[in-house]
Amino acid sequence: MNTPLISIVIPAYNAEKYIEECLNSILNQTFQEWECIIVNDGSTDNTFAIIENFATKDERFSCHSIPNSGSAKVPRDKAISYAKAEWVIDIDADDFIDNDVLEKLYARAMETGADIVYMRMKFFDEEKSENFGFIPTQVLIGKKAVMLTIPKWLIGAKGIVKKELWVTCSTFNSEIKHINVDEYDTREMLIKAKTVAFEDVIYHYRQHSSSITKKISAKFFDTLITDKMLENLFSEHFGHGSRQKLLVSQYRMKELIAKRVFLFRVGSKLQADERKKIKKMIKEHYMALDCTYSYTLFEIISFCRFIVGAGLRYFYIILL
């Protein structure tokens, strides 16, 4: 097989219901110069057999297996380390792409010379689908593009990215593997990209109740770690007192408050040791807040309530 122009990387864990649709969407691409690297993350269902079937029929598919890591980041990074192409696109095993995605993303990359080309995302479930984000017509420098993700995502985060950006990401092949570390990785790559372009083609993102982000567990609160990492990232690249870092700090504070409220509402569904661990994590993150920006009155009151503790807990919830 000739050296591919695009490497498609797919982390897969117990994806037997959806991965065939995902791989068929790749097989049906109008663009042919690709390889697809799937890393099976210790699946216990029929996922590996389905992948092997595709690899037998088309040599552009390759499959690797690792013991279950508990995080999509580990198999994704592993797949990227095997990638031969200059460009990488990561696809989740339960999602799929339109047939012209690779062709149009690559053409846009060649036209603009951008380091990243993102596309439109369409969220869907069993009942409905809806487009997410908008497609800027102009090419943006990376530091401007990343501001379309703070405090909320205004653009999709799927597309082709130069492999160099992936492998130089500070968390690449690291021990960091909490559930939403990809939100940090994406922002870091955007900041480091010279230019970012966009193309109006569709990535179909499946939403379903089995997603780990929908489950109530201690892992759900690991997002607080990513929020702190993002605050440090923006401080490093924009300056400690910058408007950009301020936005991230304010977002982090609001997420801490939201997680505290969420813990109160779902705490009874968690084991006692999980509740203790989560409470400790939230308290540590409150104590580590950057207090160099001006908090809103709501944030100050909420913070004081948290410090006072259990005595005001029920009053805290009622007021919110």
Spatial contact of 170 and 81, defined as CB atoms under 8 Å apart: no
pLDDT value of residue 121: 94
Residue with the bigger pLDDT between 20 and 260: it is 20
Average pLDDT on 256-271 reads: 85
User: What's the pLDDT tens digit per position in 142-153?
Assistant: 999 999 999 889
pTM listed for this prediction: 0.87
**How far is residue 282's CA from residue 275's CA, in Å, rounded to a whole number?**
11
Of the listed ranges 27-41, 72-86, 242-256, the one predicted with least confidence? 242-256
DSSP string, 181-227: HHHHHHHHHHHH-SEEEEEEEEEEEE--TTSGGGS-SGGGGGHHHHH
CATH match of 6-206 with 3.90.550.10: yes
**Segments making up each domain of the chain, as ranges:** 6-206, 216-319
